[in-house]
Amino acid sequence: MFTEKRKYDYLGELILKNSRILKEACRPQEDKVNWLFMKAGENLYSFVYKIESPSEAIYGKPFKAKFAFTMSDKIRKIVKMNQVYEVFRGPEPIGEIILKRIID
């Protein structure tokens, strides 16, 4: 996981479905991959996330998380708070992200 000693830029929610490459009984906190892509317009932007309450996170329901984007300066210019964006794991669409606020 790419979360060690990372500065997170946003608080928000993820709604993920279980990827076809994971076991059916897997929970979000058990997924070793936390590097996903958000689609904004025609572009995909990579981000990592850290689940706020891992024991409460389940697929198909919103859970709170912190987010760090690779191109954080560009993201600040193009995203809107409280808007739904599609999330991908590689080429596979797996859910949605809603950025709620910027972390100072």
Pairing outcome for strands 92-102 and 43-51: unpaired
Whether residue 5 has pLDDT greater than 50: yes
Residue 1 lies in a domain: no
Mean pLDDT of 57-63: 93
Predicted local confidence at residue 18, as pLDDT: 78
CATH of the domain at 70: 2.40.30
DSSP character string of 25-81: T--GGG-S--EEEEEETTEEEEEEEEESSGGG--TTS-EEEEEEETTHHHHHHH--T
Mean pLDDT of 90-94: 92
Residue 95 lies in a domain: yes
Mean pLDDT of 32-59: 92
Nearest C-alpha neighbor of 60 from the set 14, 17, 12: 17
Which pLDDT band, with edges at 50, 70 and 90, does 72 fall under? confident
Whether residue 1 has pLDDT greater than 80: no
Whether residue 34 has pLDDT greater than 90: no
Domain count, the chain: 1
Whether residue 104 has pLDDT greater than 70: yes
Domain of 83, in residue numbers: 10-102
Which pLDDT band, with edges at 50, 70 and 90, does 49 fall under? very high
Whether residue 53 has pLDDT greater than 50: yes
